[in-house]
Chain A
Amino acid sequence: MKRFKYASETACPYTCMGAIRNGGVATRLSIFLMGLGNIVHGQALKGILFLLVEAAYIFFMVTSGFYNLSMLVSLGSVPQEEVWNEELQVYLYTQGDQSILLLLYGVATILLTVLMFWVWRGTLKSAYQAECLKREGKHVNSFADDIRSLFDENIHRLLMTPPMVFITALTILPLIFMICMAFTNYSKIGDHLVLFDWVGLENFAALFDSNSVLGSTFWSVLVWTLVWAFFATFSNYICGMILAIVINRKDTRAKGFWRFCFVLSCAVPMFVSLLIMRTMLQPDGAVNVLLRNLGIIAQDASLPFFTDPTWARVTVIVINLWVGVPSTLLQLTGVLKNIPADLYEAATVDGANAVQTFFRITLPYMLYVTTPYLIATFTGNVNNFNVIYLLSGGDPITDLSSTAGSTDLLVTWLYKLTIDKQYYNVGAVVGILTFIILAIGALITYRNSKSYKEERGF
């Protein structure tokens, strides 16, 4: 397909290095005084804006930025103290250092500086461009032209900036902040909730040390997380697919009705259905009462849905099937319809039965097409907080000394560690390790998948 070339797609001739090497005096001076080149070459308003940005940044750095950066090294050391105030005859509290805020401000300052560097490069390029255009006698964009271009060839600047700002502030900054926590002793252990220090890789070492309680918990949780993700992903995938095939069979009547029945459960908010499932499966819940009334189990007995580790694990996988199959059904229906019909015709002619057709044609084709979907689901299941937290809450806890129960995933354990126990540093390490495991797995499969290699158009 022929595609329009955009100015920004082709390599831009006005590079930063070019500006420093070949630029005129005004352009080179823009290195220090952002926007000077633009002002000299007839883009006064734009240049002044750049200059203002620089002034604001310097003002910020002088008033608080440098202090923030300097405090990042020690993370503060002044504890809050009681001081006897002679005049008022009361104890007053001095403002001590709060490491968490110092860390946050420090990280934010670094992020701001990186952004500033990026802007600085942009202004340098812009100054060089203005100079070159002027030298060649071409039209130099006025401020109005620039604004207009934001709605046309530079529309991505207009439309991508607000989302990017929020992603930076509410996703990237917190993430860096949290990653930093993994290298500190910010934890309830040792009373480091107000003042804490950098400890390097100590937390990682503690988690990998399989002799400690934390270490052994980590390995058991990790293994269960992977087992869970595998079963949760593939049981949903296979069951959803079979269901979709059965419903879409030529001979099945009332297709819409069947689909409606399954989709109905999908329409109930997940946390509602999960909470209901949980109450139903309690020792005295509806299911046990029903079984007792039917005489299947003894009057005083109850099935240990969430009290026996193995039962609990099977239960969450089965309930997850209930939760996940309808949406899988919906998502796979469209893809199933895309399988070339002649494949099936050929199979029928050759006398293949339904099971053979499924394993020889449908499954390979689906696996081939939906690899990215499967990776996304697998990742989603490793991070599947809702199902575990709402259903079992990680219970049953078999080992009282450990912080995780038998059905705790890395994410729910992370939640318990940070929110309940306030072991922020260990929580952060668990988060980072989860990421690393997922990233390795996802990158390998994703890079090898056909749908990645063939993203069309560029």
Chain B
Amino acid sequence: MSSKKKGNAKAARLRNNIIVHTVLAILAAIWVFPVLWVVMTSFRAEKGSYVSNFIPQSFTLDNYIRLFTDTTLLNFPQMFMNTLIIAIFSCILSSFYVLSASYCLSRVRFRMRKPFMNMAMILGLFPGFMSMIAVYFILKAVGLTEGNLIRLALILCYSGGAALSFQIAKGFFDTTPYAIDEAAIIDGCTRWKIFTRITLPLSKPIVIYTILTAFISPWVDFIFAKVICRANADQYTIAIGLWRMLEKEYIDNWYTSFAAGAVLISIPIAILFLKLQKYYVDGMAGAVKG
């Protein structure tokens, strides 16, 4: 009797497992399919956006080569360099802002601390680019919307408000033990040294996370870039370039190259993301705990 019951339970578990794994497999397929489709498209020899078969009839590397050689309509190498420069500088600036602001908010009890946090929350409730057009007017008034200065303008845009998203880093700093700071203070360490020599090295995950998110944002944002670059095609970032490839007049010729470009910027981001998943989860868990 009891062995039969056990057998039943075992069968039920097996049945459950089979169901769960099948469902997971179907879901995973749904999630992976578009990604695979982009990769396939980037190697496809036939042009155009609408094809009826998933696996291309013939493979080619032309789409990638074309991205870097055909610069008459859309200058991809130039866009790449623009984005790289903007990403590097805005990454340095915004990492500095985020880390220093979160350190202060987590460790130093100063009078403007609470007001600052409340202000950040309130500002976060405004639609992100409600002020975008105003930012454009301000940059224009300062004369940053012409020629190469557009790059500076974009760097300022991407890094300017960075300190307002301190929550994740602050959550992480909150979880590092305060006793270490106390010990260091007793030993006569200044707070600057604690910050640079103790807190930052101890918080490597969040430092890396901050740097990477800051580095990635110029690659994937295109709204700000579009509003600020306007018609200055030589200042375009990759995101605008890819967006333009899907416009009606380009899509038939450029769709496969669009896929190639998408794969190119996705690869580094994907690698970083997969490597950093753990930190991402940790950072979030810390932030949620508050």
Contacts and interface: CB of A to CB of B under 8 A. Distances in A.
Interface string A146-166: 001001110110111011101
B20 A260 contact: no
Contacts of B137: 100-101, 104, 174, 177
A434 B131 CA distance: 13
A163 B163 contact: yes
A247 B258 CA distance: 34
Interface residues of B, number: 97
Contacts of B262: 268-269, 272, 276
Contacts of A446: 121
Most-contacted residue by chain B among A253, A275, A334, A446 (CB, 10 A): A334
A272 B238 CA distance: 11
Interface stretch (B68-76, B189-197, B202-210): B189-197
A104 to B, nearest CB: 6
Interface stretch (A131-139, A187-195, A411-419): A411-419
Nearest to A172: B123
Contacts of A411: 127-130
A175 B126 contact: yes
A269 B290 contact: no
B38 A268 contact: yes
10 contacts: A152-B192, A169-B138, A170-B135, A177-B131, A258-B28, A276-B259, A276-B262, A282-B50, A334-B281, A334-B282
A373 interface: yes
Given A243-B27, A271-B239, A334-B284, A163 B97 contact: yes
A273 interface: yes
Contact of B133 (A8, A272, A389, A419): A419
Interface in A267-318: 267-273, 275-277, 279-280, 282, 284-286, 289-290, 293
Given A148-B190, A175-B123, A269-B262, 8 more contacts: A3-B109, A155-B104, A177-B134, A334-B284, A372-B290, A389-B223, A446-B121, A451-B290
Interface in B163-195: 163-164, 178, 182, 185, 190-193, 195
Interface string A79-123: 000000000000000000000110011000000000000000000
A272 B242 contact: yes
A410 B284 contact: no
B59 interface: no
A148 B191 CA distance: 11
A8 B110 contact: yes
A282 B129 CA distance: 28
A395 to B, nearest CB: 14
A22 interface: no
Nearest to A1: B178
Contacts, number: 288
A331 B122 CA distance: 23
Contact of B285 (A251, A264, A284, A338): A338
B124 A169 contact: no
Interface in A214-269: 243, 246-247, 249, 251-253, 258-269
A263 B32 contact: no
A324 B278 CA distance: 18
Given A163-B162, A177-B131, A330 B281 contact: yes
B250 interface: no
A286 B50 contact: yes
Contacts of B239: 269, 271
A115 B130 CA distance: 24
B270 interface: yes
A50 interface: no
Interface in B108-124: 108-113, 116, 121-124
Majority secondary structure, B binding face? helix
Contacts of A101: 137, 141
A428 interface: yes
B24 interface: yes
Contacts of B104: 155-156, 159-160
Interface of A: 1, 3-4, 6, 8-9, 12, 100-101, 104-105, 148, 151-153, 155-156, 158-160, 162-164, 166-167, 169-175, 177-178, 181, 243, 246-247, 249, 251-253, 258-273, 275-277, 279-280, 282, 284-286, 289-290, 293, 322, 325-326, 330-331, 333-335, 338, 369-370, 372-373, 379, 383, 385-386, 389, 410-411, 414-415, 418-419, 424, 427-428, 431, 434-435, 438-439, 442, 446, 451-452, 454-455, 458
A431 B138 contact: no
Contacts of A174: 131-132, 134-135, 137-138
B277 interface: yes
A331 B284 contact: yes
Contacts of A454: 290
Q: Which 9 A-B pairs have the closest CB atoms?
A: A170-B160, A163-B163, A334-B285, A431-B130, A267-B270, A174-B134, A174-B131, A159-B100, A151-B192
A68 to B, nearest CB: 12
B89 interface: no
B86 to A, nearest CB: 15
Interface in B20-35: 20-21, 23-24, 27-28, 30-32, 34-35
A268 B219 CA distance: 11
Nearest to A180: B134
B46 to A, nearest CB: 13
B127 A434 contact: yes
Contacts of B143: none
Contacts of B134: 104, 173-175, 177-178, 181
Contacts of B281: 330-331, 333-334
B229 interface: no
Contacts of B38: 268, 272-273, 276
B222 interface: yes
Contact of A251 (B13, B23, B157): B13
B127 A275 contact: no
A12 B28 CA distance: 59
Contacts of B96: 162
Given A153-B191, A177-B138, A293-B52, A268 B133 contact: no
Nearest to B117: A455
A228 to B, nearest CB: 14
A170 B156 contact: yes
A418 B133 contact: yes
Contacts of A253: 21
B17 A251 contact: yes
Contacts of B28: 258, 261-262
A270 B266 CA distance: 10
Given A159-B101, A159-B104, A267-B266, A166 B35 contact: no
